[in-house]
Amino acid sequence: LKNVKNLIVCRSFSKAFSLASLRIGYALADASIVKEMNGVKLPFNTNSIAQHAALSCIKHRNKVYDQNKNIITERKRLSEILNKYAGISVLPSDANFIFIKFDDKSTTLKFLWDLKDIKILVRHFSKPDLYNYIRITIGTKEENNKFLQAFNTVAEKYL
């Protein structure tokens, strides 16, 4: 930044640090740019809870990075297992969730409700282009195994 006066480096804590709901991040830039940015920002700074969470993530970043590695490993494992089922396809993902597309739209809601009955909550979207998709958040290995067991139980009925 010392040599490049017109560069702004932005970093969000939303994805890598799992703080999406706290809306926190930072920007690094030359002092003249920061002064201009401060002149047009909203009058309120980020709340103290978000600030403490971000500082904790920075302090314990190695734990956060280890958790991210586990998410990547589990995402790959879940995708490989789920892709073996007929009647669905798993979209490639670089996030902490995966999308499952059902070939038959009516099967989507059956899965949604049956999984809910087994106490497994997944995200469904009512928009027409996303109606036959569910979103699965990547959890711990134990949580994912519980999901896979429930998914298999429901799949035996509908796939």
Q: Which of 19, 18, 51, 53 is nearest to 139 (CA)?
A: 18
Q: Which of 144, 134, 85 is nearest to 105 (CA)?
A: 134
Give the whole-angstrom CA distance, residue 126 versus residue 90. Answer: 19
**Mean pLDDT along residues 115-133:** 95
148: pLDDT strictly greater than 90: yes
Interaxial angle between packed helices 61-82 and 141-158, expressed in degrees from 0 to 180 and rounded to the nearest 10:
20
Query: What global pTM score does this model have?
Result: 0.79
pLDDT at res. 42: 86
- Cα angle value 126/79/137 (rounded, 5°): 50
Residue 14 — very low, low, confident or very high, per pLDDT cuts 50/70/90?
A: confident
- Cα angle value 101/105/154 (rounded, 5°): 70
**Mean pLDDT along residues 17-44:** 90
Give the whole-angstrom CA distance, residue 83 versus residue 147. Answer: 15
129: pLDDT strictly greater than 80: yes
Q: What is the residue extent of each domain of the chain?
A: 8-59, 66-158
**Mean pLDDT along residues 71-98:** 96
Q: What topology is assigned to 66-158 in CATH?
A: Aspartate Aminotransferase, domain 1 (3.90.1150)
